[in-house]
């Protein structure tokens, strides 16, 4: 309602362009959902389905188009380092996802502002931020602790280390004071901020741990594995755990409800 009210006072309606350059069914559903929610907010939205070989040129054209206020790309496009190149190609002033290298650098260095006067906040990637907002809403964040330490004392697992969601999410949680186990197919890394260090951002440390070593230690377990075959074993979860899933499919077994104090089956999607 607040966004819709603000948009209605503008002489011209902001226009967001979404680029869909893959055959991923979940990306297509996300695009459809985007269109609906943006229309409800009073924003103009145009979905452009393009061959991925043409996507770079399409982004460049949108960057210089004065009629385009914001750009959204539905990932994965290639599913490798080329996606990062596409993210960095989007003009930072039109990047509504916060995935450009400018915003990535701010996130990983725990710098929340674009200017020295701290008047312009850096954009955070939408799905990681949505998970943070969910955790705050359900009481995982402790606001009696100093700012920047609201997760101090919490141990959290993030199962997924994609550059779009998993890794930035782990960084955000670590920068807020948590000890984070970032779990991916290749290894498990610990993201943690050293309170005694002069640098205020987290460090990432590779380990030889396996999921069964760390999941039972976690107060919060967050999953984002984009395949229905993957299931987090309920037997590994400690009683009273907070379980959150941001994948497009259910990553937890049905029995999670018997163990978790709070279970969030989906973030940012209609069920």
- Please confirm, yes or no, whether 126 is among the known catalytic residues: yes
20-31 as b/e: b if 16+ CB within 10 A:
bbbebeebeebb
Instruction: Compute the C-alpha angle 250/216/153, nearest 5°.
Output: 105
Angle between helix 101-108 and helix 81-89 axes, rounded to 10 deg: 110
205 phi/psi in degrees, rounded to 5: -125, 125
Going by C-alpha positions, the residue among 99, 94, 98 that lies closest to residue 63 is: 94
Selecting among 44, 96, 101, 126, the annotated active-site residue is: 126
Contact 71, 91 (CB under 8 A): yes
Of 224, 171, 170, residue with least CA distance to 200: 171
Any idea which residues carry the catalytic annotation?
A: 126
């Amino acid at each position: 309602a607040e966004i819709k009210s603000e948009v209605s006072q503008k002489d011209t309606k902001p226009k967001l362009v979404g680029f869909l350059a893959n055959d991923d069914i979940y990306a297509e559903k996300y695009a459809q959902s985007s269109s609906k929610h943006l229309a409800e907010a009073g924003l103009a939205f145009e979905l452009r389905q393009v061959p991925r070989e043409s996507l770079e040129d399409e982004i460049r054209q949108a960057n210089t188009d004065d009629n385009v206020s914001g750009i959204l790309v539905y990932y994965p496009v290639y599913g490798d380092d080329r996606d990062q190149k596409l993210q960095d190609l989007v003009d930072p002033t039109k990047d509504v996802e916060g995935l450009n290298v400018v915003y990535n650098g701010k996130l990983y260095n725990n710098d929340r502002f674009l200017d020295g006067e701290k008047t312009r906040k850096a954009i955070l990637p939408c799905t990681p931020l949505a998970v943070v907002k969910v955790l705050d809403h359900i009481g995982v964040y402790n606001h009696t602790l100093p700012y920047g330490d609201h997760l101090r004392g919490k141990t959290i697992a993030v199962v997924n280390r994609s550059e779009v969601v998993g890794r930035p999410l782990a960084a955000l949680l670590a920068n807020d004071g948590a000890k984070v186990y970032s779990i991916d197919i290749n290894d498990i890394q610990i993201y943690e901020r050293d309170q005694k260090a002069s640098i205020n951002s987290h460090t990432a440390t590779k380990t030889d741990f396996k999921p069964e070593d760390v999941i039972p230690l976690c107060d919060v377990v967050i999953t984002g594995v984009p395949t229905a075959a993957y299931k987090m074993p309920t037997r590994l979860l400690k009683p009273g755990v907070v379980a959150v899933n941001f994948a497009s499919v259910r990553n937890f077994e049905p029995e999670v409800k018997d163990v978790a104090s709070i279970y969030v089956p989906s973030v940012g999607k209609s069920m």
